Chain A
């Protein structure tokens, strides 16, 4: 495996300074930085073979179409899906969930039906379902969490009923870092013939995702959170579902025949890819996944586990600092609050020391409500971070404490 200096050299931005201080980037949960190979891959599209995909008869169009479809194949292999037809490109996790919520609602949902979510969901896995429920007269049911920030499985089992039509839960909480027991959730749902969507936005970059073993019905994630470009995401769906569901957007490329009387749709996965897709970003995403495989997913997970444990120890030792999300099973994300200091104040001062963290409710207001707080400071780490950076954060927090004392 590459050593940490070599890894960091792959990411040009990590070398920069902010306010004359070396950048400490701990906002990977919001977006990750990009290795040079991803920047090159996107650059190469525009420089050498840009042409709209699936449309032209010309050389460039052929070349970018081929590269786009190769990317689809790479993504299929990366998550171990059965077929390329099951991999749909979208704009991101939010786009994927909105799409499925719409199509699933149109196809299957009747008044009184229920959708189960967890208390740990990002707003992107709440609002699209809420919008669909309002349209269809369906009801949202929420799996509660305990004081460690873990979902209570027994309560989930009680929520599953003959009215349940779908379960949609996150693989890992963006606000607290908790990893959910997705296998148990999926198995229980399947035992009563209910499909499950897994929101992998905070999961896929931290370990090995195998949709076949997991047996989820849908899996969605964003490219920019796994070192790929912005504006690209993936919707994996088992073929039987994607065949049955109607498209969520109409336009070019998703059609078979169009007349003013009726339109028939293209085959999978193109049925769900209306209009010009962000093919340069899709090609960049494939390059990011290659990069991840090259570093090694086990090695990434191991390195991040070490960083999490070191950061947890360092931060726990700070007097007045409380960590929210204390599950044994976590991604490398630490949410915390310093006694009597507003998270916004903490974030602003850390920023001036070159440390990038996120503050606020992290688009997960129900989680904050559950703990009776209005926000936290979140340090979300990934494999290119270092223990020295964690020390800088810990020192920074001490400085914040002294400034606001």
Chain B
């Protein structure tokens, strides 16, 4: 599936719920399902510190695809982290660099990625792209 196909799937999944609580319940479930990050990556080097919650992000690269693993200390943040990983993990650097993330806005979670809501998510998206740019540069 392309990045946009995954995004569209997520939008569809969330559109089943009108109620905010149901949407957040889904996020909580996604947060709980997120594979556990290897503790050796849960260190300062991979920490993105927000003033509300923390995010750890580790990029693995096999020369072709970037695989992200991540975690957060807050479950709702972890749910959104899980969505970002669904969309952007196991992708080539080029795919990640040129991607446009519209699903967050469409499922009504834009406030979670606003610069004023410092939960580390906006920085996480930026960091994912920066890793992709770095690996891309290394290839050339």
Contacts and interface: CB of A to CB of B under 8 A. Distances in A.
Interface of A: 19, 341-342, 344-345, 348-349, 352, 359-361, 374-375, 403-404
Contacts, number: 35
Nearest to A21: B20
12 contacts: A342-B53, A344-B119, A345-B76, A348-B24, A352-B20, A352-B24, A359-B52, A360-B52, A375-B52, A403-B21, A403-B24, A403-B25
Contact of A349 (B24, B52, B73, B119): B24
Contacts of B76: 344-345, 348-349
B24 A344 contact: no
Given A19-B20, A352-B20, A360-B51, A344 B74 contact: yes
Contacts of A404: 28, 75
B1 to A, nearest CB: 29
A178 to B, nearest CB: 23
Nearest to B119: A344
B7 interface: no
Contacts of A360: 51-52
Contact of A344 (B21, B25, B28, B53): B53
A179 B74 CA distance: 31
Given A342-B73, A352-B24, 19 more contacts: A341-B75, A342-B53, A342-B75, A344-B52, A344-B53, A344-B119, A345-B74, A345-B76, A348-B24, A348-B76, A349-B24, A349-B76, A352-B21, A360-B52, A361-B51, A374-B73, A375-B52, A403-B24, A403-B28
Contacts of A352: 20-21, 24
B77 interface: yes
Chain B, interface size: which category?
Answer: 10 to 19
B71 to A, nearest CB: 12
A175 to B, nearest CB: 14
Nearest to B51: A360
B21 A342 contact: no
Interface string B41-60: 00000000001110000000
A344 B24 CA distance: 13
A348 B117 CA distance: 11
A104 B28 CA distance: 51
A282 to B, nearest CB: 27
A19 B19 CA distance: 10
A94 to B, nearest CB: 17
A361 B24 CA distance: 24
Nearest to A365: B51
Contacts of A348: 24, 76
From B24, B73, B74, name the one whose CB has the most chain A CB atoms within 10 angstroms: B74
Nearest to A399: B21
Contacts of A349: 21, 24, 76
Nearest to A19: B20
Contacts of A359: 52
Contacts of A403: 21, 24-25, 28
